[in-house]
Chain A
Amino acid sequence: MTDAHIVRHTRTSRVATGVVVPLVVVLAALPYYAPGSVTRLLVDLFALVVLASMWNLLAGYGGMISVGQQGFLGIGAYTVLVADLVGLDPFLAVPIAALVAGLVALPTSFLVFRLYGGYFAIGTWVVAEVFRLLTVEVGAVGGGSGASVTGLSAYAPALRGAVIYWCALAALVAAVGGVFLLMRSRLGLALTAIRDEPTAADSLGVEVRSAKRIVFVLAAAGCGVAGAIIVLDSLRVQPDSVYGVQWSAFMIFMVVIGGLGTIEGPVIGAIVFFALQQLLSPFGSWYLVVLGAVAVLAALFARRGLFGLLTRGGDVRLFPTGYRVRAPTEAST
C-alpha cells in the first residue's frame, strides 16, 4: 500500500494556469480589436462576476447569507458620484469605493453579527435599506432621483469605454484571484474548518468571528467596486436601482446556479445568468419567475450547482484551494 500524500494541484489546475493567464492577456487586449458594444457588454458581465464571487465568498466560504450586499454596492456607486462632485477623477474613485465600502462594513459587522442564519440575512437587508433611506435624504447627491456622473466627459468616448473595461477586468481578476489566494491562506483554512465542522470551530470562537469579519469587510469592498463600475458604465446613479434588493437576488441566483463554495461556480453562474438576462429580459417579469424557480430547484436538487454537475465524480478543479488527500491505491468507497 502506498502512502497517502497531500497535493494541491490537480492535472486540470495545471492546465488552467496555462489557459487563464493567456485568457486574461487576450481579454486585456480586447479594446484594441473588438467593437465598443462588445466591451460594454463584457463590463456588465465582469461586474456580475465580481458580485457573484463576493457573495460566494460570504456564503460559500464564510457561511453568511446576506441579502444586503446592495447596500455596499450602492455605497460604491455613490462614492463615484461624490468623487465626481468634488472634482476627483471618477476612475480614481474605483479603489476609493472599495475602501469606503469596506470601512462602512466594519462597524456594520458588529451589529449584524449579533444575528444568525436567516435573521442575519434580513438584518443585512435592513442595513442596506438604511443606507438607501439616508442617501435619499442628501440633496447634494440628488436625493430620491439620483444624479449623473459628469467628470468622464473629459475622456474621449473610445478611451473612456476602454478604461472602464480595463477597470472591470482588473476588478474581476482581483475578485476571483483574491478569493482564490484568500482561500489558500491561513484564513481560508480556518474558514474551511468553520464550514465543515461548525461545532469544532466554535471552540475557536474568537478566531472564527474575526475570520468572518474579515470576509464580510472584503466582500463589502468587492461589492463597492462592482457598484463603482456599474455607475461608470451607466453614468447615472439612482438610489432605488443601486440599492435595490434585486442585486441580492441576482447574486444568489448566480452562485447557487454556478456552484456554492467553489471559485469556478460563481464565474459560471454569472455567465449563465448574463446569457439568460440577455435572452429572457424581453419577457418581463416571467424572466424573474424562471430565475427564482431555477434557484429553488437548484437549492433542492443540485446543491453543488452547475459546476458540481459538470465535475460530478471527477477531480476537476481549475482553482485548487483546499489541500486534498490523494487516497492510497487501496480502493475506497
Chain B
Amino acid sequence: MTWVNAVVQGLLLGGVYALYACGLSLVFGVLRIVNLAHGDLTVLAAFLALVVGQALGVHPLLTLLVVVPALAAAGYALQHAVLFPALRGGELAPLLVTFGLSVVLQNLLLEAFSADTRSLPAGTLGTAGLALTDLLSVGWLAVLTLGVAVAVLVGLQLLISRTAIGRAMRATSDDPETAQLMGLDDRKVYAVATAIAFATIAVAGVFSGMRGTFTPTLGPQLLIFAFEAVIIGGLGSLWGTLVGGLVLGVAQTVGAQIQPSYGVLAGHLVFLAVLAARPGGILRRAERR
C-alpha cells in the first residue's frame, strides 16, 4: 500500500512539475530560447504572493488576481526590453542574459527576504484531504493543483491551436522572417507569448508556494525539474509536458520511498535514462519527422 501511496502522491506532485514546465515549454516553443531564469521567476511569484497576501490579508488563491497580471506584464516588458534584443545576438546571448537575470533575481530575493524558508498559508485547503482508503488519502490542495495544471495545459493547447494569436505564435516559431513578411510583428508575438508564459509561472509559483516551502535560492532546482518534465515528455508537446511532469513526480516519490535522500536523484536518473533511450521524449513516436 505504501507503494501505491507513493505513486498516487507522485502523480499529484507531478501536477506541480507540469505547472512549472509549461511556461518553459511555451517560451522555448515560440521563441526558441531557454529561459534560465524560469525557476527564479517562479520563486519570485511565490514571494510576490506572500507579500500581497500579507498586505491585503487574503488567501493565497486570491493573490493570483494580482500576481498573474503582474508577472504577465513583467514578461511582456522583459521580452521587449531585454530578450528581443538578445535574440539578435545569436544563440549565446539569450542564454547569457537569462542566466545573468537568474543570478540577479536570486540575490535580490535573498537581500529582500533573507534565506529563511517560507510557505504560503493555504489554511484548511492545505490540511483537508480525502481518505480514499484507510491507508491512502489525498490532500485537496494537491488534487486542486493537479486539476489546475491540467486546466492550464488544456487552455494553452486551445490557445495555440484555435486562436489567431496562437496561429501567429506557431507561424513565428516556424519561420520568424517570413512571419514578418506576412505582416506579423514578431516583437509583439514574442512579447505576448512571454507574457502568457509568465502568467503560468505566476500560477505555478502560487500553487507550489502553498503546497511546499520555498527560499530565494530554490529557483535553480525548480528550473531543473521543469526542464526534466519537458524533456521526459518530449520537446514541443504540451501533453508531453504533463506526462513528463507526472513521470518525474512518481520517480521522485517512489525513489524517496526507497530512501528519503534518493528522491531527487531518482528523478534525475529517470531523466537521464529517457535521454539515453528515447531522446525525443517518451511520447514521441520512434520515427523522426
Contact = CB atoms under 8 A, between A and B. Distances in A.
Given A119-B231, A284-B111, A300-B85, A126 B104 contact: no
B100 A111 contact: no
Contacts of A253: 100
A130 B223 contact: no
B105 to A, nearest CB: 8
Contacts of B91: 63, 65, 117
A144 to B, nearest CB: 9
A272 interface: no
Contacts of A296: 82, 96-97, 100-101, 104
Given A289-B104, A289-B111, A303 B95 contact: no
A253 to B, nearest CB: 8
Interface in A76-130: 111, 114-115, 117-119, 121-123, 125-127, 129-130
Interface residue SS majority, chain B: helix
Contacts of B261: 133, 136-137
A293 B104 contact: yes
Contacts, number: 129
* A137, A260, A295, most chain B CB atoms within 10 A: A295
A179 B93 CA distance: 23
B103 A303 contact: no
Interface residues of A, number: 43
Interface residue SS majority, chain A: helix
* A118, A133, A300, most chain B CB atoms within 10 A: A118
A67 B102 CA distance: 12
Contacts of A133: 261, 264-265, 268
A121 B107 contact: no
A298 B92 CA distance: 12
Contacts of B224: 122, 125-126, 129
Contacts of B89: 299-300, 303
Interface stretch (B63-71, B204-212, B269-277): B269-277
A289 B108 contact: yes
B36 A118 contact: yes
A249 interface: yes
B34 A121 contact: yes
Nearest to A123: B275
Contacts of A298: 96
A36 interface: no
Nearest to A114: B279
B99 A252 contact: yes
B220 interface: yes
A149 interface: no
B239 interface: no
* B32, B33, B100, most chain A CB atoms within 10 A: B100
Given A122-B227, A300-B93, A115 B100 contact: no
A291 interface: yes
B188 to A, nearest CB: 20
B256 interface: no
B33 A303 contact: no
Contacts of B36: 67, 118, 121-122
Interface in A277-321: 284-286, 288-289, 291-296, 298-300, 303
A294 B101 CA distance: 10
B265 A295 contact: no
A143 B112 CA distance: 32
A256 interface: yes
B93 A111 contact: no
Given A121-B36, A295-B100, A295-B103, 12 more contacts: A111-B275, A115-B231, A119-B227, A119-B231, A126-B228, A129-B268, A253-B100, A288-B107, A292-B107, A296-B101, A299-B100, A300-B97
Interface of B: 28, 32-36, 82, 85-86, 89, 91-97, 99-104, 106-108, 110-111, 220, 223-224, 227-228, 231, 235, 261, 264-265, 268-269, 271-272, 275-276, 279
Complex A-B, nearest 6 residue pairs according to Cβ-Cβ distance, in ascending order: A118-B34, A292-B103, A292-B104, A295-B100, A296-B100, A285-B107
